[in-house]
Chain A
Amino acid sequence: MKLKFCLFILAICFVSIPLARAQDPQLVQAARKEGKVVWHTSLAIPSSTAISHYFQNKYKGIEVEVHRNGSQRVLQRFMQEATAGLKNADIVHTSDAGHFELLKDKGMLLKFTPQGVAAFPDGFKDKAGFYYGMRATLSVMAHNPKIVAEKDAPQTWKDLLNPKWSGKMVTAHPGYSGIIMTHVLTLVNVYGWDYFRDLAKNKLHIAQSANDPAGVVASGERPVGVNGAEYFYYKTLKQGNPIKIIYPKEGVPLVVSPVAIAKDAPHPNAAKLFTEFIFSKESQQLLADKEGLYTGHPEVTYPADKPKLKDLKLLAADADELEKRNAEIKKRFVEFFGA
């Protein structure tokens, strides 16, 4: 009996060790020597700040320098620095998969696979191993229930074309946000550019970030948001603001936000450690619990009041197509909306 029990304990230990996902102490030491990791990200400020604090608490002595901006701007800054020969950035993270195809083709990324990502769905993995999806969200519609009653609210993408919504809607901009870039591409593939031409007739208020519509809708400035990051709408709702999210039945764009390490990263070990960290179960669970995000991690659980991805009709965008049509999408959006 005792022997069986000991064997059982031993077996659990052996199994637990890989499950505990302990980090390689040599990596931690090397990372500590470097002292910091520079993270360029499009993740919303409260969320990215929280993640960095969590990492800093866990690995004392390694500072996370967060530079947050819209996806398109993150890429712009990264490319500008590279052109000028500056090697400052360690980790690049945006919500536009096309960026990563571009960077990979230019040889600007480091091939690195964090532990555990093999279990992630295909949409979260780069076959060549240069980038992986840190988080995912949806681009959804939302309205302010205090101003627009539920029964009157738009339910489908096409509902938004109704002239009764003229002057009452807000959109974010694909020239700034990766989430919105994906949103526009997927809807164009379904409805064509005429959809956006008609939508623009309703005189939308043009915001920039996919997180901005949440504030605009909650304040009542424009009671309907025609797109926007679902995680941010969700967080705003959870803070007690008047938001009602709509997940259109015709399909909801799914945006996977990849993360990668720069080939010329000045702090490569810290970068690897940080990457391991953000793909760890505890970190991914944190994203789900506190930040309203979806992840690729199979063991993460989600709040009960969030719809399960498998219950929604998802519209996905191909990374290559995102890269190729990036300029076209920006151009035509500006053409219809003016700016």
Chain B
Amino acid sequence: MAIVSIRGLTKKFTDAAAVDDLHLEIADGEFVSLLGPSGCGKTTTLRLIAGFLQPDAGEICVGGGVISSPSHLVPPERRNMSMIFQSYAVWPHMTVAQNVAYGLKFKKLTKQQIDAKVTKLLGVVHLSELKDRYSSELSGGQQQRVALARALVVEPQILLMDEPLSNLDANLREEMRFEIRRLHEEFAITTVYVTHDQAEAMATSDRIAVLDRGQIVQVGRPAEIFDHPKTRFVAEFVGKANILCGRLDGASRMRIAERLEIGVMPNPDLASTTGEAAICLRPHNIVLTAVQSEAETLARQDYNVFSGVVQRRIYFGESADYTIDLAPHPFTLRVVGSPSKLYDKGQRIFALARPEHCVVVSNH
């Protein structure tokens, strides 16, 4: 049974809808990310869930009871939720221990019980030695861990996180992603996580909801989103993508240029199997070879073949990033290749991809 149910959620600021008829069901203990570019409505959605904003239409239910609707609103302090913020929001006039203990004041516990819980959580986030420090003496990462401890110690039924890692530097961000996932597995609290960073969403989430302009465009497990994006937007937002446009010719074939037809992975959501469409092809799903016979062998195995010339090569150490010009066809392909076999600029080359990796997406 879903613990959080969002139906038809709409919120307008002046005339523009920040959140527009949004639907989402979140299961008990699930970690769901709201992923999207800035302005897509993800933070607004989160704040609606928290109760800081009231919807103009639609409703939010938790455990079957309506907590937000246009006609009533349970205030944030009564929702049994916790939240973590981009700015950490660690209270500067309290020590680390006092910050963590604050929420327990409202739970009618004895002082000893509070102290015990605080000590335990500080141990969990590895901040025990710093319990008497103030936030001005802590680094960004430490402050975020204080925020985590503070949020978890009250045993909320739902944990909300609003871009908690955006202010950290890259290395720390990576480390913290794993930490967040680890804590989630340990405490199993239903979590809603807002981010614009696709790698972060992938690393932490059970499911990802991709938002664009106030609406959810696709929800699914990370692999699903990545391998089977439904729209061009999702395809391009979640990872690098080659988007090729053309005409569908039946469910599994598409003509993308004069005299170039390829096999594609069909998209069941698409209304018709003919007409304009696009495909998404991930750069790392493309095989490169300069040898014609290899290309022909793969072609017999149903690979789609593109032939062209290396236009540009950027060497990254772990990989090489190629741009292949497919003249006379009017497009290029981005390819991520192995660093051990490098192809030079100007070299003739074959780029091959399986039809399953050419996913049909709706074109917007």
Chains A and B in contact, CB within 8 Å: no
Q: Which residues of A contact B (CB under 8 A)?
A: none
